[in-house]
Structure 1
Amino acid sequence: MRTIKTQHRAQSAPIADLVTYRALPTNSVEHLDPFLFLNHHGPQVYRPNNQGLPFGPHPHRGFETVTFILEGDIMHQDTGGHQSIIGPGGIQWMTAGRGLIHAEVSSPEFKRTGGPLEILQLWVNLPAKNKMVEPRYIGLQEPEIPTASLDEGRVVLHAVSGNWLGTAGAVSPLADIQLATINFRAGGKLDLTIPASHTIFFYTVRGRLRVNGQETQARQLVEFNYDGDDLHLEALDEAVLLLGHAHPFQEPIVSYGPFVMNTEQEIRQAYQDYQAGTFGRWEE
């Protein structure tokens, strides 16, 4: 079995009136190559006639954002011409590549009516060879994401990318990044085989789980050693898990604000290109 190195507690990092917990990076962990960043927004309930999400137009270069909408919605727009409103159970996969400007806000309907909101946003690095690819955006609603019902229905796996026990994910990423969200009923069990060379990304969103003999709970990120292939999971109560794995890129990581590159010179170039307008011009 894969052994656990340590567990990291997500840290409170509110953004305006948006409840936010940052699971990566924190004071105890910088990144889990190639997984760079995770913000857990909510859960919270917005009143009617609210301002919604605060993420107006901003640039990115050199990595990918994967957004999981558990409750509420996100209205996406970017300078690549992509627009969508994704509701509960859906995902957004945006490859920033050489650079674009995007906004992630709540839909007019959500701002008018309010309601529950809970969203995860994960940043995944791109290898050096792909950092300057053309930007790409994929927005999928819940029915478009393949699922696997396991352990007599006590475990439901939503395959976002990669291959999970024979179920192919909805997205084919540039790098071999495998991502899934998994819903457990109390007592649900799941056994998985993940190559020992892969970095595992294991974040408990809700509830309590036992993984390879150790208990973990909501808003905890489990960091594993690279010493085994097997994961044995059991839900101690109803739970939701964000699970991913990938072979680490083992490349230099230089990040500054919205850009993630391999060198400081590339970061400076990203700012110059953004200021020169090569990321596109924002149009309301």
Structure 2
Amino acid sequence: MKTIKRIHKAEYRPIADLVTYCPMPTQSLQQIDPFIFLNHHGFQTYPAPNQGLPFGPHPHRGMETVTFILKGDIMHKDSSGHESVIGPGGVQYMTAGSGLIHAEVSSDEFKRDGGDLEILQLWLNLPAAKKMTEPSYVGLQKDGIPTFELDKGKVKIQQLFGEWDGVKGAFEGNFPITLSTVYLKQGGTFERKIPADQNVFCYLVRGVLKVNGTEVMFRNLVEFANDDEKIEIEALEVSVLIFGHAAPFNEPMVAQGPFVMNTQEQIQEAYQDYRDGKFGSWDH
């Protein structure tokens, strides 16, 4: 089985009144190339009325976001003209590429009525050759994402990227990647064989798992060595897991604010292009 190098506990980093935990990057873990950043917002209950999510218009370049809506909703709007409101169980996939401005806020209904909220956002790097690709966005509700079951229904897989047991993911990535949301009932198990040279992303959102024989608590990220193929997972409680893998780019990365590039010069160019209006106009 794959050796567990280290288990990283998510750090508490609230944003305004939004409960937020971040397992990566931290002092102990910069990235799991090409997975570069994760924010875990919630679980929390918002009163009625409320201000909702605090992520007003801001730019990005050189990376992608995958946003998992477990509870509550998120309203997306960007300078490329995309708009959507995605509810519980839905997922958003945005490629910033050459640059865009976007906002991620709560719907008017959520701000009026309140409710439970738990949302995670994972940043994926883009390879150097695709840093300046055209921006794109796809938002899918829960019923638009392929799902299947393992272990007699005790494990449910939401397939987002790549393929698992012949089930193709909902999104077409800009590089080869497999990514799933895994819902496990207590006692549910699954096993995966992943090429030893690929990096594994394994973050436990809720519950308690046994991963390759080691107990892992919720809000922890498991870092694996690249020494074997097999991963065995068993749910000791009802659990939710974000699970994926991809070959590392092994390219230099400079991340500064909302931009992720390969050199400091490219970062400065991104800031200048944003100031010059090259990321599109924002119409409130």
Q: TM-score, normalised by structure 1?
A: 0.99
Which residue matches 2:139? 139
Tell me whether 1:105 sits opposite 2:105 in the alignment: yes
Shift of 1:193: 1.1
Q: Partners of 2:238 and 2:196 in 1: how far apart?
A: 28
Shift of 1:202: 0.3
Which residue matches 1:30? 30
Which residue matches 1:167? 167
Q: CA RMSD in A?
A: 0.5
Shift of 1:131: 0.3
Q: Which amino acid aligns with 2:2?
A: R
Shift of 1:39: 0.2
Tell me, what secondary structure is at the counterpart of 1:129? Answer: helix
Shift of 1:172: 0.8
Which residue matches 1:216? 216
Q: Partners of 1:56 and 1:259 in 2: how far apart?
A: 16
Which residue matches 1:58? 58
Q: Partners of 2:15 and 2:22 in 1: how far apart?
A: 11
Which residue matches 2:86? 86
Q: Partners of 2:168 and 2:5 in 1: how far apart?
A: 29
Which structure 1 segments of 5+ residues have no match? none
Which residue matches 1:115? 115
Superimposed CA distance per residue, residues 131-179 of structure 1 (whole angstroms, 9 cap, x where no aligned partner): 0000000000000110111100000000011001211100010111211
Tell me, what secondary structure is at the counterpart of 1:101? Answer: strand
Superimposed CA distance per residue, residues 240-284 of structure 1 (whole angstroms, 9 cap, x where no aligned partner): 000110000000000100000000100000000000000011101
Q: Partners of 1:242 and 1:217 in 2: how far apart?
A: 13
Summarize the alignment of residues 11-22 of structure 1 with structure 2, pairs less than 5 Å apart.
Answer: 11-22=11-22
Superimposed CA distance per residue, residues 57-81 of structure 1 (whole angstroms, 9 cap, x where no aligned partner): 0000000000000000000000000
Q: Partners of 2:70 and 2:167 in 1: how far apart?
A: 21
Q: Partners of 1:191 and 1:16 in 2: how far apart?
A: 39
Tell me, what secondary structure is at the counterpart of 1:204? Answer: strand
Q: Which amino acid aligns with 2:173?
A: P
Q: Partners of 2:80 and 2:104 in 1: how far apart?
A: 14
Superimposed CA distance per residue, residues 185-230 of structure 1 (whole angstroms, 9 cap, x where no aligned partner): 0000101111111000000000000111111010000000001111
Q: Which amino acid aligns with 1:281?
A: S
Tell me whether 1:242 sits opposite 2:242 in the alignment: yes
Q: Partners of 1:124 and 1:49 in 2: how far apart?
A: 34
Q: Partners of 1:186 and 1:115 in 2: how far apart?
A: 26
Which residue matches 2:189? 189
Q: Which amino acid aligns with 1:41?
A: H
Tell me, what secondary structure is at the counterpart of 2:75? Answer: strand
Q: Partners of 2:113 and 2:194 in 1: how far apart?
A: 43
Tell me, what secondary structure is at the counterpart of 1:265? Answer: helix
Q: Partners of 1:81 and 1:235 in 2: how far apart?
A: 42
Q: Which amino acid aligns with 2:195?
A: P
Q: Partners of 2:31 and 2:115 in 1: how far apart?
A: 33
Q: Partners of 2:196 and 2:215 in 1: how far apart?
A: 21
Tell me whether 1:180 sits opposite 2:180 in the alignment: yes
Tell me, what secondary structure is at the counterpart of 2:266? Answer: helix
Q: Partners of 2:197 and 2:84 in 1: how far apart?
A: 37
Identical counterparts, % of pairs: 59
Which structure 2 segments of 5+ residues have no match? none
Q: Which amino acid aligns with 1:155?
A: V
Q: Partners of 1:148 and 1:26 in 2: how far apart?
A: 34
Q: Partners of 1:199 and 1:136 in 2: how far apart?
A: 25
Q: TM-score, normalised by structure 2?
A: 0.99
